[in-house]
Amino acid sequence: MAKEEMKTKPTDADVTAFIAKAEPERRKEEAHQLIALFRKITGKEPKMWGPSIIGFGSYDYKYESGREGTSIRTGFSPRKAKLSIYIMGAYCTPEAQAEQERLFGLLGKHSVGKSCLYINQLEQVDMGVLEQLIRNNWDLMNERYPE
């Protein structure tokens, strides 16, 4: 099966210009805080993926069905309603899922989707726990999908 044409692809859009348009106003500062945190963890520079995702690294995947593609390894989007943080690595093993659930219990105010962590405001979460969640995700993705 051919590589799937993803809707969300890396672009040459300017990350700083994108953040400058973020609303509400606090999203701009939160985005800069998250960029610093992701840089610290990943050692990668931010890159825009599609019109609204700030990604760090990428990986190529191939499912047993033959479907394959390229996606962000981790990243976030400073959406108006909530920050969306993309953490997919914990789905690699049951142990990783259990550790992620434990950390979610310590994080503070948040909600989750299948591979997204949603935060209303960074000041409502424990930044040390958030850092550990992102670091665990990064390490697990690197184990499963070596660069």
pLDDT tens-digit profile of 30-89? 999 999 999 999 999 999 999 999 999 999 988 888 888 899 999 999 999 999 999 987
| List of domains in the chain | 15-144 (3.90.1150.200)
pLDDT category at 101 given cuts 50, 70, 90 is: very high
- Asked whether the predicted pLDDT for residue 102 surpasses 50, the reply is yes
Of the candidates 61, 27, 56, the residue with the CA atom closest to the CA atom of residue 42: 56
Residues in CB range of 16: below 8 A, 6 or more apart: none
